[in-house]
Chains A and B, each alone.
With several copies, the nearest count.
Chain A
Amino acid sequence: MSNQTMTFSEAFQQGVREEMGRNSDIFVLGTDLFERGGHFAQVKGLGPEFGQERVRDTPISEAAMVAAGVGAALYGLHPIVDLNFVDFALGAMDEITNQAAKIRFMLGRPVPLLIRATHGIALGGAHHQNSLEAWFMHTPGLAVAIPSTPADVKGLVKTALRAPDPVIFLMHKRLSGQRGEVGGPDDLVPFGQARVARPGTACTIVTYGGTVGPAIQAAETLSGKGIDAEVLDLRTLWPIDLDAVVDAARRHGRIVVVDEAPLVGSATAEIAAQVQQAAFHYLDGPVTRVGAIRAPLGANPKLIEAALPSVADIVAAVDGLFDPAQVTA
């Protein structure tokens, strides 16, 4: 870990800049990148530095943007397609799912392609608040990285840009400005390796991306009540570090899984289902999930807040696992 402190977006910039420097096959395309540096400043400065061929502005054509990435990747390049908001991936789902994800399996040719998008709940109305990570996780052939710290942004994007396969790289809106230290040019963060975001011995809160912060807050609250909760940050949903979760279940038998997607069919379901199957006899209570209600998220902040899991919800879920009434019901 170098001692440089920077924002989430700057960490992305730096990781991409370093990799573009060492590999001329890497280029990035998307809307409003060259001048503006993207809507979250995620590639700010790269335009002037690498020129218009390597930081390529596109029209609003998400399907063709991803198709461009797939074709160029097959030709031997390593494109970064910046979709801006993940919601706009909905206009390119065939290119992502049928083409990028399947070509290696079907035709034997890897597709080194990074698809970056800002995701997560903030504001702006229901069309800009989709949580699609469970879809991507369900798609064989796609890797899904969802960092929660600047260090992981940089380390994961570097790994992605040295990998031969398509990666969906999601950065939470609310984390864009979050600051932290990042690693040096050779510090890669591996995919499929969870990170202990807060150590703890009594139970484990498993989460990723935008809910790592709230989970840590919940753990602080719980520690005030004498419950020492671990927070595990998955960092990638595929490959997924199930071993770390199962191991936690074996250690203390209490697992809570949290994200901010609508609960029904979210990534928390897969994790809960796997853990209870792999560690059934170690569990002192059900693997407990915390997520959003089944509803679109509108414009009103109070309605959004009501729909999303709160720190209190996470605390309550953990509490439930220590409630003798519930656990011995």
Chain B
Amino acid sequence: MADDETPTAQLREWLEQMLLIRAFEETAEKLSLRGRIPGGIHAAVGQEAVAVGVMSALRENDVISSTHRSHHHALAKGLSPDGVMAELYARRDGVVGGRGGSMHLASFPLGHYGGNGIVGAGAGIAMGVALGIQHRRDDNVAVGFVGDGGVNVGRLWEAVNLAAIWSLPLVVVVENNQYAVETHVNRVTGGGDIVRRAAGFGVAAERVDGQDVVAVHRMIAGARDRAVSGAGPTLVEAVTYRYYGHNTGEVARYRTQEEIADWRSQRDPIDSARARLVAASALDDDGFAVLETAAHARVEKAVAFAEASPQPDPKTAADNVDAWDVAVTR
């Protein structure tokens, strides 16, 4: 056991997932700078523990709805790195055939209902999914992701309120990485406390260290239980940090190099998971190197897959907009 309750095998798996995400994002950022990814990306380097902690607490049929910064969510939800990378490339073998791109990853069979280009919108859709779940009396939950910037979008609170009054099986995860583009959360968030704001709408609300994958996992597992039991929604603020710029190639003047270095050196989610495993004698340096190498190899394979994937057929540009040209069925 890595600590009292988390089996080392589990923690090791989470570490592997975090390493995969880290390798994926570092690679994707480079590819993006090299112009391989049309439109660029929003890398989630530093935020790996949020994605892995959340998804590890979900069941297969649980649903997520995500944001513009979402590769980590997709990978942790089980989407193949090949399909995700090919989608960043906007190629035919991407998870949605190259029509979505970096901000619009999805896999309905795997319960990933899509990223979103509109801040706050993904959480609204998750609320709707939770309504669907309740309607069907299923045992699933819906998880909606949003950033700290998204807590100032009014529509988010409409969704939270609906979830509260209807006791929907919804978990809203606020990834508070401190910044919305270059705007620090404290400059624009009246009251300065996202959890308190959420509590004012009648949802259970809690804050968690988003750099601690075990803590995130436990928090979400609790919220999931509550949701499934009918006790209603929870908003979880996961305090985290993005190491890279807001989007590809951003030159950051709004924060110091020291601040970044502090987070990287003191609170890195991969470092701390590794340290726990080492402390439990379940991992040594060589073992870690093996995992890291495997992650990079997996990502290299994904890059090769994406590079080899053909462009979608231009003739399909107007396909699948709606079904009104065909007979009405069902």
Contacts and interface: CB of A to CB of B under 8 A. Distances in A.
Interface in B279-330: 311-312, 314-325, 328-330
A74 B39 contact: no
Interface stretch (A120-128, A203-211, A224-232): A120-128
Given A98-B121, A124-B39, A72 B155 contact: no
Interface stretch (B18-26, B77-85, B99-107): B99-107
B269 interface: no
A302 interface: yes
A103 B114 contact: yes
Given A72-B129, A99-B125, A162-B329, A299 B253 contact: no
B232 interface: no
B325 to A, nearest CB: 7
A110 interface: yes
Interface stretch (A52-60, A178-186, A215-223, A275-283): A52-60
A303 B124 contact: no
B22 to A, nearest CB: 24
How many chain A residues sit at the interface, stated as a range, is 35 or more
Contacts of B120: 60
A108 B97 contact: yes
A67 B312 contact: no
B309 to A, nearest CB: 11
Interface centre among B135, B166, B180, B187 (most CB of A within 10 A): B135
Contacts of A105: 99, 320-321
B311 A300 contact: yes
A98 B104 CA distance: 12
Contacts of A106: 96, 99-100, 104, 106, 114
Interface string B122-160: 001111111111011000001000000110111100110
Interface centre among A88, A99, A239, A293 (most CB of B within 10 A): A99
Interface in B151-200: 152-155, 158-159, 161-162, 165-166, 180-183, 187-189
Instruction: Please classify the interface of chain B as helix (H, G, I), strand (E, B), loop, or mixed, using the class held by over half of its residues.
Output: loop
A307 B318 contact: yes
B63 interface: yes
B320 A108 contact: yes
Interface residues of B, number: 78
Contacts of B166: 56
A104 B328 contact: no
A299 B127 contact: no
Contact of A303 (B98, B180, B321, B329): B98
User: Nearest 5 pairs between A and B by C-beta?
Assistant: A71-B128, A299-B101, A127-B117, A75-B132, A67-B124
Given A56-B166, A106-B106, A125-B103, 8 more contacts: A32-B181, A35-B182, A75-B129, A91-B155, A123-B39, A125-B102, A191-B328, A303-B317
28 contacts: A32-B181, A35-B182, A53-B135, A57-B187, A57-B188, A62-B153, A63-B154, A67-B158, A70-B124, A71-B128, A72-B135, A74-B108, A75-B128, A75-B132, A75-B133, A76-B132, A77-B135, A87-B118, A91-B118, A106-B106, A109-B113, A124-B40, A163-B323, A163-B330, A164-B329, A295-B319, A296-B321, A303-B312
Interface of A: 27, 31-32, 35-36, 53, 56-64, 67-77, 79, 87-88, 90-91, 94-95, 98-99, 103-110, 122-128, 140-141, 143, 159, 162-165, 188, 190-192, 238-239, 293-296, 298-307
